[in-house]
A and B are shown apart, each in its own frame.
Chain A
Amino acid sequence: MIAETVAWFGDAANWSGPGGVPARVLEHVGYVALALAIALVIAVPFGLLVGHTGRGAVLLVGAGNIVRALPTLGVVTLFFLLLAESTPAAVVGLVVLAVPPVMAGTYAGVQSVDAHVVDAASGVGMRGMQRLWQVEVPIALPMVLGGVRNAVLQLVATAAVAAYVGLGGLGRYLMDGLAILDYAEVVAGAVLTAALAVVLDLLLAGLQRIVVPRGVRLAELTRSKGPA
């Protein structure tokens, strides 16, 4: 099995053309990026609003839990069937799955900002939006990005499964391999999917290091070690 999988990776035919690894990886990343972008546009403003005003939190958390309880393949298939069996339909399914982790991370991030800091922000004369952008968002960033990382892991895995309803990407190797009982191809598809997930997560971890303000990281360190 291992030898066959290695042989699959060694076969030049698997590295070129529309069915080759580079093309499939790009396709896969494309679905993930598209679904993530749409999910961010929907989830971040909602998460910020609920975190900032403290209103609607119960609804947000409840809805998130319901979506999380749904079987991912079921969601993707449902939208595929509802929306005339097109690729966009599968992407909509992915978006639905990516929204809850991003929204939860954003909401929790804003919510977790120290109440004294929020109070001080109003107390020095910041208006609502100034407080949100100048104080709450920078401090919430680590948790927002934590939500994004969860969403990306979820998306990479689900996009692979979505090949079942005709989507391209790395899931094709799983589906096509199963169809012709070529298990080396199935394993190769699984390995590639996992590797992509790891690489994207590492990239986001790097991004997190760059964009999270230094003072916020220092404060986190102090908190975890106890006050200085």
Chain B
Amino acid sequence: MATVNVDRSIDARGMPCPGPLMSLIGAIREGEVGNVIEVLSSDEGSKTDIPAWVAKAGHELVEVVTEDGFTRFVVKKAR
């Protein structure tokens, strides 16, 4: 369950690919280093796309939680 304080939450449930990832990218762009961003996605592709992007972009994947019908990704802007 939620163990970190989230600075911004994006409800991308129902959005098809690449909507959830693009929303996260937008939030990272706008946020400050250290900000924690949460994305809720029901798109299957997000399960691979979001962790892969976070790794490539050098941010921190704080947690991935499978909820009922969607996944919650918590990401910290690291640079």
A and B interact = no
What residues of chain B have their CB less than 8 Å away from a CB belonging to chain A?
A: none
